[in-house]
Chain A
Amino acid sequence: MDFLKKFFSSSGSKSRAKERLQIVLIHDRADISPEMLDNLRQDMIAVITRYMDIDTSKIEMDFDRADRSVAFVANIPVIRIKRGVAAAREGERG
């Protein structure tokens, strides 16, 4: 299969090199300091708690590397959605 891929692909190993570099560098550059990650965490909590109660002790955040992309994945357990948030926001806009 790889052999066929190589045979029929329009570009050589260069495009693989570029793709791999782009992905590895997202990961390298995402190697952010614990302080920055903590700030991000606090900011996210502040925004999300406007809409719902969450279990802040169980938040998991990490960079997830798939084959062709890097995702920032946050797992945030929800305790309760606040009632009337959507209505309140509608009211603000109006």
Chain B
Amino acid sequence: MDSRVIVITSGKGGVGKTTTTSNLSVALARGGHRVVAVDADIGLRNLDVVMGLENRVVYNFIDVLEGNCRLNQALVRDKRVDNLFLLPAAQTRTKDAVSSEQMEELCNLLRQEFEYILIDSPAGIESGFRNAAVGADEALVIATPEVPAVRDADRIIGLLESMGKAPIRLIVNRLRAQMVRDGEMLDVSDVLDILAIELIGVVPEDDSVVKSANRGEPLTFSDVSPAALAFQRIAMRLTGKEVPFPKLDEENGRGLFAGIRKLFGMKN
């Protein structure tokens, strides 16, 4: 199978790596691809709860590497869509429980089964990040339009480049259109000026993200919120489709979609 291993990373914590991993995994699976979302955050796993699969976790990928179970036993199948699996991290172990050789081995094992292998990286630039990235071909870097997040993204991009990952593409997350219009928030073009890498998507700030994480239902299952649509577009661009970038107002749900939803009396 022609597989792609993609690490989702940011340097800074709390900017949306897990949200992005879960939403892109669901969107890709709904597009008919065979997908596994790997939680590489050993000791601080969260992808299981964000995806709503925490009650079905039995084994984790360290169990696979240590021979306590087979890969198929550790994979949690998402029953809501065909071809979507979660490979959880161990919660009661530390980052030193695996070596980079083992992580490469794990990725090669997954390549035999899956088309898209999305790896949710832990925050930071230490071994946890390196292990998450080592087996990946390409990378998605998440940054919010804020000084600390952009600074950390720059550092991470340097490290990913030195590890030979390509392409390295940027997702600008939690953009607030009104603040950008007021000149009180960095715009996408500012972030691109500074980081000088390819943009793959812009996700607007959206309350639905918190709500979906509360429920354990990734937005891309059914939602038409601005963030859900943004993640769907990113998933399509990942598969190589050309999807135009909407204008700021449309990203934020004030454009065409907001108009339609208003027409049908839906809540914004």
List chain A positions with a Cβ less than 8 A from chain B. 10-15, 17-18, 20-22, 24-25, 28-29
CA distance A24 to B149 in the complex (A): 13
Could you mark each residue 182-211 of chain B with 1 if its beta carbon is under 8 Å from any beta carbon of chain A, else 0?
A: 111111001001100000000000000000
* Cα separation A25 to B154 with both chains bound (whole Å): 8
Give CA–CA (A20, B186) in the complex, Å: 12
- Separation of A19 and B13 alpha carbons in the complex (Å): 23
Which 9 residue pairs across A and B have the least CB separation, nearest first?
A12-B183, A12-B184, A11-B183, A14-B183, A18-B190, A13-B184, A17-B147, A17-B186, A21-B194
| Contacting pair A15 B194 (CB below 8 A) | no
Beta-carbon contact of A29 and B158 below 8 Å? yes
Q: Does B56 contact A (CB under 8 A)?
A: no
State A11–B185 Cα separation when bound (angstroms): 10
Tell me which of B154, B182, B194 contacts A18 (CB under 8 A): B194
Q: Is there contact, CB below 8 Å, between B194 and A22? A: yes
Within 8 A of A (CB), among B153-172: 154-155, 158
How far, in angstroms, from A24 to B193 measured CA to CA in the complex? 14
Residue of chain A at shortest CB distance from B155: A28
Complex Cα–Cα for A61 and B193 (A):
29
In the complex, which residues of chain B have a beta carbon less than 8 angstroms from the beta carbon of A24?
147, 151
Q: Name the CB-closest residue of A to B184.
A: A12
- Cα separation A14 to B190 with both chains bound (whole Å): 9
B residues near A11, Cβ cutoff 8 Å:
183
User: Chain B: residues with CB nearer than 8 A to chain A?
Assistant: 146-147, 150-151, 154-155, 158, 180, 182-187, 190, 193-194
Residue numbers in A under 8 Å from B146 (CB-CB) = 17
Q: How far is the CA of A29 from the CA of B161 in the complex (A)?
A: 13
Contacts of B154 in A (CB 8 A): 25, 28-29
Which residue from B151, B184, B194 sits with its C-beta under 8 Å from A14? B184
A12: chain B residues at CB < 8 Å are 182-184
What A residues does B150 contact at CB under 8 A? 21
In the bound assembly, the distance between CA atoms of A18 and B182 in angstroms comes to 15
Given contacts A25-B151, A28-B151, contact A14 B185 (CB under 8 A): yes
Query: Closest B-chain residue to A24, C-beta based?
Result: B151
Closest CB in chain A relative to B177 CB, distance in Å: 13
| Residues on B with beta carbons closer than 8 Å to the beta carbon of A15 | 183
Please, how many angstroms separate the alpha-carbon atoms of A17 and B145 in the complex? 9
B90 to chain A, nearest CB (A): 33
Given A17-B146, A17-B147, A18-B193, 9 more contacts at CB 8 Å?
A12-B184, A14-B186, A15-B183, A17-B185, A18-B190, A18-B194, A25-B151, A25-B194, A28-B151
A92 to B185 Cα, complex, angstroms: 56
Q: Which residues of B contact A18 (CB under 8 A)?
A: 186, 190, 193-194
Residues in B with CB closer than 8 Å to A21 are: 147, 150-151, 186, 194
Complexed CA–CA distance, A17 and B183 (Å): 10
* Chain B: CB-nearest residue to A13: B184
Q: Which residues of A contact B184 (CB under 8 A)?
A: 12-14
Q: Whole-angstrom distance from the CB of A5 to the nearest CB of chain B?
A: 14
Query: Would you give the shortest CB distance from A48 to chain B, in whole angstroms?
Result: 31
Whole-angstrom distance from the CB of B252 to the nearest CB of chain A? 16
Q: A25-B194, A29-B154 are in contact. Are A20 and B147 (CB under 8 A)?
A: yes
> Smallest CB–CB gap between A11 and chain B, Å?
5
